[in-house]
Structure 1
């Protein structure tokens, strides 16, 4: 059997032509240090007017050496070196005279100093070199350090169609070998970006042989096992290799299946790769290190499942390469302009054959834009057909599943442009970790989780509904079995709340939504009404090697997210039901 190439996708050489200042400067950093999330650069400047100098004397240019490093200085040599960009320092987690771990910008002591704000150091449309020139502008008075950070925008997705085309033949050979070895079913175990693209491809191409598991509800896990797993190929997909839900799925099924039934998709050197090599997985595929999870649809994350279901990936990728970048970015500009005009609810209406594409766009837009009190709220499967004054509707999609590659890439470009125009980083998710940390505390029962059984100070559903204001949205967050009949009941409740409040509504199953819209809920505008729904589990399942059950993990994730929302001052109601079927009672409130 020929194994697929493990080479990681490289950043496109054409990124320099992108006009976005953020993308261009980030690609310059990523070209040399593509595996680093953040590059810390420190420089120092000399006192412009030394003590005793005549008033009004011309300030001297700053000496371009690194903080705490005199290399590059011409002091004492009798020579003057012209000012230029400072040498990049090795990545550190400290700045200036602050303590280790203190990443705040430090101003030098001294009267009359002026520190240039970030908006002056980095201006839209400027290259990285121009930004360095701004940094080297003389500063009057004082002596000290300036520290700033450049977040690396993972831009490998730009080149993903070309890289995946080069890999496609290997992927089809791998899929053919798996079929010859008797595998008749594929289960993708992953969260967020690792699961949504495979789900879109499977439903759009009508491939019931591929199932996605992205719920820690015990009923969802047990349903996979009870359908028979003897001829199932498990794709364990986690970029970081540490996603708790994904590892729990693996530990549960590896106790019931052979190691040769497992395939891993993960970053090189991750804990998941180590585990896969130690335990004899059938194959390990490397996730491109320069591609963030939600931008990975056209990488191995989406293309391996496409090969396993027999989709025409070559045509899909070739159509993606034909995407007009200017038109894609114009879509992002349109959505940004609508949001800035008060229409920040993005109603997505793709045609029936590719309807689940909206789920993938929901994560991409919500997690990329929802931060710093700004963001766009995607609305999927809107139960109300009337247009609301705070909504922007997008219904221009191709109904051909082979155009999904073009749709993926179009929306990735559009989302990057959206983030640029909203003034947020479209490639990070700074508020996701909080709910994870609180969930871990709930599980550990440590100081932060010692009161894990105590009621949380949430509203009642009636109070939450009355708290609705114009331009708010209602988010129903259901930690229930993601079965079609449960989804139908929730959709009915959602419609009732939409008509009663006049607000846009969203619906997410937990913990899936934590990896999709969770960033928006906590980092976006404070316009959400959050109704968290939990229920008693009829049965539970223990997770081998982790010392927990799926039911306990799900409850900890629900409480952790509620605590994170409350800490951000969000309006939250929590309802605990005896049975999932009782959710229809919420429609009559």
Structure 2
């Protein structure tokens, strides 16, 4: 399927203005040749070791047979269920790949004890687990590995026969796992996590789950010719101009008739973590086809639809952009476009300087474990806390929410962050549309701690115009982590509090609602919004 980017309005004007210069500067061919100088001297050191994704198709080909052989061995051992423990790029790419292919993969990208327990109790006897961590030290995946090791041993199953490791060569996890006898797949170390869809991080869990990896790589390979050429028709340059040169710093991504399932969630991390830094960047907003933002006419929001087949430009809604293509092709297209946008914006698209701040704050809270601050008040099982004094005097949930929304500027956005079991409470995402309709501004929704490895970089490093609504569970059922001095419940609480503290230090207003019953809290909050 050919990649097509159809532009209208400001997006078409931006492409017409900047793509010729990108062509003259040989940007597409230089990206493909892994030229680290494209993003300026400050980015050169990082860029020199982060452009391997441009040759991921050829590098990953030999993995396909290895993954197929391991899948056959696991099936022979009675395994019919694959679980993935991973965060950020390690989980988002396999999720979109497997959902699009229609094969089952349980994605465990949470520290919520209820979600972890649900995964542990689901067909353990016939499950294999992929533990993916680029750094080899990710606290979430380390914790997931530990509880699965214990669960397998208690079930009389040798963990090394059921746990597969994906990590960078030489990482702490790489050495320890090999010494313990685990099967280890190494990914290309010259690829950052959010660009790793077509490396071992995307392919191992997807292939073990049953995806036709050759077909996926063939799709990507077919797209390379159009993306590598210095031409005004290069879809990567055109989409890069849409993202980075319209003057609009928010992009609403809408799946509208595409066969690709969940693509916007993957693109959200790619764009936000790559561009949201130095006080600028592009905020991606995942939208449904009936989202209020689409018809609101917000001047700082560019609507991009991922569609099933290309239309003539004159058939595209005025001011919108439509993108079509195969999954493998789209993965590469948006990677090219994102780094092109980074060049246009003037940032390094390969670092994530503000992600670590929340991790440091989390570790500090886990070490000290202070008592949480007293809430401003409680209403219907919801304890209300706020940073920055904006909610001083509020005595009802409605008043507290209104006080937060009053902090929204005309170019601002609201981020809803739910530190809860995303499998058990999918209806919480309904809050996004209700709040967008109420505020007339873009609203993002993220599941914690998953979003910390995604939009978390933008929230702290991007334009300082966000306001934040945290919904945190008051853990009723907890789960200990073997050989760790904290539980999953304590970990997710520390992650929420740590991120809130960093946002507060940066002057971002945060309203935290701690709930004992998520479903009842949703009704209470919906009433407060109305």
TM-score bracket, normalised by the shorter chain, equals: 0.7 to 0.9
Q: Which residue of 2 aligns with 1:275?
A: 176
Q: Which residue of 2 aligns with 1:388?
A: 297
Asked if 1:420 is matched to 2:326, the reply is no
Structure 1 residues 168 and 351: alpha-carbon distance in aligned structure 2, compared to 1, 3 A threshold:
same
SS in 2 for 1:547: coil
Distance 1:27 1:207 in 2: 34
Distance 1:125 1:473 in 2: 28
CA contact (8 A) 1:240 1:266 kept: yes
Matching residue within 441, 445, 450 for 1:503: 441
Structure 1 residues 148 and 506: alpha-carbon distance in aligned structure 2, compared to 1, 3 A threshold:
closer
Distance 1:573 1:464 in 2: 7
Give the deviation of 1:268 after TM superposition: 1.0
Q: Which residue of 2 aligns with 1:245?
A: 140
Q: Which residue of 1 aligns with 2:71?
A: 175
Q: Which residue of 2 aligns with 1:40?
A: none
Give the deviation of 1:279 after TM superposition: 2.2
TM-score w.r.t. structure 1 length?
0.72
Matching residue within 222, 229, 250 for 2:124: 229
Q: Which residue of 1 aligns with 2:242?
A: 334
CA contact (8 A) 1:22 1:420 kept: no
Asked if 1:546 is matched to 2:469, the reply is no
Structure 1 residues 321 and 534: alpha-carbon distance in aligned structure 2, compared to 1, 3 A threshold:
same
Give the deviation of 1:578 after TM superposition: 2.1
Structure 1 residues 399 and 198: alpha-carbon distance in aligned structure 2, compared to 1, 3 A threshold:
farther
Distance 1:215 1:351 in 2: 29
1:182-331 mapped onto 2 (5 Å cutoff)? 182-208=78-104, 210-257=105-152, 258-259=158-159, 260-281=161-182, 283-323=183-223, 324-325=226-227, 326-331=234-239
SS in 2 for 1:188: strand
Indicate the structure with greater helix content. 2
SS in 2 for 1:494: helix
Residue segments in structure 2 that go unaligned for 5+ positions in a row: 1-23, 153-157, 228-233, 311-323, 376-384, 392-399
Residue segments in structure 1 that go unaligned for 5+ positions in a row: 1-16, 30-121, 132-146
1:339-418 mapped onto 2 (5 Å cutoff)? 340=247, 342=248, 344-351=250-257, 353-382=259-288, 383-384=291-292, 385-389=294-298, 390-398=300-308, 403-418=326-341
Quote the RMSD (CA, aligned, Å): 2.6
Give the deviation of 1:28 after TM superposition: 5.8
**Residues 57-89 of structure 1, C-alpha deviations (whole Å, 9 max, x = no match):** xxxxxxxxxxxxxxxxxxxxxxxxxxxxxxxxx
- If you compute each CA radius of gyration, which structure gives the higher value, 1 or 2? 1
Q: How many residue pairs were aligned?
A: 452
Structure 1 residues 343 and 532: alpha-carbon distance in aligned structure 2, compared to 1, 3 A threshold:
same
CA contact (8 A) 2:254 2:305 kept: yes
Which range is displaced more, 386-395 or 224-233? 386-395
Instruction: Report which structure shows greater RCO (CA 8 Å, sep ≥6).
Output: 2
Q: Which residue of 1 aligns with 2:412?
A: 472
**Residues 201-222 of structure 1, C-alpha deviations (whole Å, 9 max, x = no match):** 12111112x1110010001000
1:570-581 mapped onto 2 (5 Å cutoff)? 570-581=508-519
TM-score w.r.t. structure 2 length?
0.80
**Residues 127-171 of structure 1, C-alpha deviations (whole Å, 9 max, x = no match):** xxxx8xxxxxxxxxxxxxxx9973334011000011222332222
Distance 2:43 2:235 in 1: 34
